Amino acid sequence: MLRWVRQQLGFDPPHQSDTRTIYIANRFPQHGHYVPQKFADNRIISSKYTVWNFVPKNLFEQFRRVANFYFLIIFLVQLMIDTPTSPITSGLPLFFVITVTAIKQGYEDWLRHKADNEVNGAPVYVVRSGGLVKTRSKNIRVGDIVRVAKDETFPVDLVLLSSDRVDGSCHVTTASLDGETNLKTHVAVPETAVLQSVANLDKLVAVIECQQPEADLYRFVGRITVSQQTEEIVRPLGPESLLLRGARLKNTKEIFGVAVYTGMETKMALNYKSKSQKRSAVEKSMNSFLIIYLIILLFEAILSTILKYAWQAEEKWDEPWYNGKTEHERNSSKILRFISDFLAFLVLYNFIIPISLYVTVEMQKFLGSFFIGWDLDLYHKETNQRAQVNTSDLNEELGQVEYVFTDKTGTLTENEMQFRECSINGIKYQEINGKLTPEGFSEDSPDGNRHSLMREEELFLKAVCLCHTVQINADQTDGADGPWHANGIASPLEYYASSPDEKALVEAASRVGVVFTGTSGDSMEVKSLGKPERYKLLHVLEFDPNRRRMSVIVESPSGEKLLFTKGAESSILPRSKSGEIDKTRIHVDEFALKGLRTLCIAYRRFTPEEYQEIGKRLHEARTALQQREERLADVFNFIERDLELLGATGVEDKLQEKVQETIEALRLAGIKVWVLTGDKHETAVSVSLSCGHFHRTMNILELVQHKSDSTCAEQLRQLAKRIKEDHVIQHGLVVDGTSLSLALREHEKLFMEVCKNCSAVLCCRMAPLQKAKVVRLLKTSPEKPITLAIGDGANDVSMIQEAHVGIGIMGKEGRQAVRNSDYAIARFKFLSKLLFVHGHFYYIRIATLVQYFFYKNVCFITPQFLYQFFCLFSQQTLYDSVYLTLYNICFTSLPVLIYSLFEQHVHPHVLQSKPVLYRDISKNAHLGFKPFLYWTILGFFHAFVFFYGSYLLMGEDTSLLGNGQMFGNWTFGTLVFTVMVITVTMKMALETHFWTWINHFVTWGSIVFYFIFSLFYGGIIWPFLHTQDMYFVFVQLLSSGSAWFAIILIVVACLFIDVLKKVLYRHLQPTSTEKAQLTEAGSGINCLDSMCCFSDGETACTSVRRMLERLMGRCSPTRVNSVCKVTEETCI
């Protein structure tokens, strides 16, 4: 019961040890001392709340917000003491905001519960009591043997026991986890692979020891101990044995596996847990403004309290004849009375803090984020991928970016590799018509037209065909001669690979005569010019970013033990002791200068004694449960030494479309671009030049190949001196990973000074954590610039999470970057529209939204403060309590919300064609102290005009009705309120540049609604109201011609100054944006591009967007196309 209560409240029991012991089929030891470990059940819980904790947990989260907590305090004060306004005035708006947010969050959580129930109730088959039992997914326990059939999804994380294949292998696709569509091979240990029936598996006695759950999809450390008769056999378990929940079984009839991680402890569930929350600069500004307004509120309340007691110092005002004190009031403590009066004034003025600001901003961000996904300009037709929004909290941050950190491979390039050149035994080769031709020879020359391969060439190509993780379509591997024609030339095999480099190399080898034809059990089959050869795969030394290489140990047909290794030249050449090392190094540099990606290939022969020693060390390291990675790294380094260099390869990765134009546009927008890549120096520089990151006229500075702090510091000082001397010339900086580590260790300030004076920075040979460190360095510098990181691979995840805004590219290196990003796009070129159009719009919209909210609340409460000077600070309210309650909720809420969703102050095509306009909004220009001060002063000015204008026009002569009846204080307050509602609504209209019928409807509709509501509210005696102060007041007010004259005069007086200021500034000091608006005005552009105006004239697909397009009434494709053409001509 206690455990169930803990689970309902969201607490997970802590694990007691670093490892878990799993008895297969839950056959626990029979001795009485064993206490089974407690494991989570297999229910997936993606929901945030339960029935039991929804109310307390949701309320706790909502009242963590300063404004909500503040209004709760005000509401409680109103309940406890005698205040001038009803508790309803604070309680109802607070209840409305809390309820709307709770309903939204509750509905979203109900949908998650519904999805969870579907997953948890899915049927599965489990081996129990010697047979297959059908049960629900949520009933699977750790230790259960589960059967999964072809094309089914794994319901838990399983260790593979057996499959329908003799070797115990199976193929899976992890597209739903990391986006990789290639088939991955998983293998069972030999002792369990032979158990292919339920009866045999039911007799299995085995124990699995493995690590506790962790989120890393590609890491699993464990071992299985199988009891066979009198002996126990121990086998290592790694990622190749683990089948992840969410992955799908392919090309295999069925498999059996034992559940090791269940429910919320599966790797899929651990990866879905929310990452650290990022906060936008706008949100920080909003909180600062709230504090300033809180100070204004306290100042007004304290001043009013002091003035009240100063006024009451005279006896005639302390107790006037019409307001006599009770005996209790005369005898009460002065301090308590002062506190009570202070709190009463606090309640009276509390609406200066806009409670509905948070909920409006939340709605604006949530609804506004749909426009990115709906924009067909961000849709990539070839891959059928549209832009994706993972968080809507950072929309406006897209308009504030100052630094872009980008990966190279797959982000700037296509990640589609094509083999171009190679170096074998010190000789350069090119592929010409499917043949390897030495450099300088043509196909027609005697040496160029060869039908055989030299020994070195054949060994090199065999190394390429054996040292990889490439797989072949299962349909093509049936039959030994299936993929071959009679002339011995291979028909194309369909290869699958997680690395495009490997695929390009294996395909190139097959074209020149050495073909990888697949695997069979633990053998790899190769055909060299039609002659089949079978190599036994003994060990795979997996690739990792630290070693930067991978290796295989194979047994050749002659029985020889061989190691084949490939990797970066920096990790292969230092470990080579023979071969044409110097010539190959020169060739690698030449390949890199052409922008080719390079790999070096080497091999080593083992004596029987050496191989025995290696096998022993590998087994010990792989069966270790503690520090397995460190032990394996030591063994791998021991094995991969004394290599004989075979050669190097050069593979081309084409640039993506419009990369150069996008980088140039970012530069014009004032955004600095840093390229962070793992490629070698020469390759990275070549690609930077070709993509426009570096200009040919740019002075390239280098900080590379430094081994000590002293040389690195000296070079940095020299670079800083050169930059000062050549201040006119643009500079580009190239820095490598080792030099960067030295620079960041003790010379961080000097390094940052050099970087900030460079137009472009290129960091090569970067490890993933170094990328994140560079981003953090810029992010935390004194200027606190807004950073954006964009990448496509798992090695970019740390950088993407570190930056203020992280963007994932939907590339060919899986979906890890996309899953961990804030936004995802299909191509780098889409970044320009994302920033220059969507980012620009979002920032302008929310900046105006936030400041307008503060402005209209200053207008609202300041007359209340001024009124106290005319009522002896008696805390008499100027407005009726219903008006106090509905001002922010009904009368002024919709125009600003619609503005914040649809406003386009400049046409999207103009923004994209003129990136320089992005500079106008940089560095939080519209939410700085000056704009905030302007809006605040404007609010106070308008409030003074409302109050004193009404007072001067109607305060002195109160008998303005034809029958001589006088106006009262409620009529005066209603007049001020009426003028205020019209003025603040008209002010929003003045700020609107892009008008649709929706804007017209909510703007004029809000004013009409106010009049209709006031007529009904004041025209009927409402029985549930304890006072009828407003009865017939509004009707009486509107029946006076003088009142109408006053309303019109005051509204015009308020807005005239604002209009005059706008006109003068536009003519005398226009910004680039205002100049663009003037240019645009002549072209007659008027289309809501982010919703319905696309380059090809298509309309969006979703039903919601179609509804909005019909509502807008402006989406005729013919008209859109003609308008877009006019715009482009105007922009040029």
**Residues recognised as catalytic:** 407
Sheet holding 222-228, edge to edge: 19-23, 206-211, 222-228, 231-237
Dihedral of CA atoms 972, 973, 976, 979 in degrees, nearest 10, equals -100
**C-alpha closest to that of 38 among 8, 10, 12:** 12
Length of the chain: 1132
Report, in angstroms and rounded to the nearest whole number, the Rg of the chain calculated over CA atoms: 37
| Per-residue buried b or exposed e for 1086-1113, using 16+ beta carbons within 10 Å of the residue's own CB | ebbbbbbbbeebebbeeeebeebbeebe
**247 to 148, 150, 338, 764, 1027: CA distances (angstroms):** 11, 12, 68, 34, 67
Assigned token pair, 42: 């297999």
Angle, CA 117 vertex, CA 111 and CA 120 arms, to 5°: 140
- Report whether 526 contacts 518 (CB < 8 A): no
- Report whether 204 contacts 24 (CB < 8 A): yes
List Cβ<8 Å contacts ≥24 apart for 221-226. 221/625, 221/628, 221/629, 222/159, 222/260, 222/625, 223/623, 223/625, 224/159, 224/189, 224/191, 224/192, 226/189, 226/191, 226/192
- Report whether 623 contacts 234 (CB < 8 A): yes
- Report whether 887 contacts 860 (CB < 8 A): yes
Check the CA dihedral 48-50-55-60 and report its sign.
negative
Main-chain phi, psi angles of 564, to 5 degrees: -110, 130
- Report whether 733 contacts 762 (CB < 8 A): yes
**Would you tell me how many other CB atoms lie within 10 Å of the CB of residue 1021?**
9
Assigned token pair, 583: 């010539």
Angle of helix 840-867 relative to helix 356-368, nearest 10 degrees, comes to 160
Could you give the CA distance from residue 955 to residue 957 in angstroms, rounded to a whole number? Answer: 6
3-state secondary structure of 692: coil
Could you give the CA distance from residue 584 to residue 596 in angstroms, rounded to a whole number? Answer: 15
Check the CA dihedral 1014-1015-1017-1021 and report its sign.
positive
Left if phi > 0, otherwise alpha if psi is -120 to 50, otherwise beta: which for 922? beta
Could you give the CA distance from residue 84 to residue 881 in angstroms, rounded to a whole number? Answer: 10
Cα 769 versus chain centre, distance? 18
Check the CA dihedral 200-203-208-212 and report its sign.
positive
Fill in the amino acid letter for 782.
Answer: P
Could you give the CA distance from residue 761 to residue 142 in angstroms, rounded to a whole number? Answer: 51
How does DSSP assign 859-917, residue by residue? HHHHHHHHHGGGTTT----SS-HHHHHHIIIIITHHHHHHHHHH--SS-HHHHHH-GGG
**DSSP for residue 1031:** T
Beta strands at 495-496 and 760-764: parallel, antiparallel or unpaired: unpaired
Could you give the CA distance from residue 793 to residue 797 in angstroms, rounded to a whole number? Answer: 7
- Report whether 41 contacts 141 (CB < 8 A): yes
Main-chain phi, psi angles of 900, to 5 degrees: -70, -15
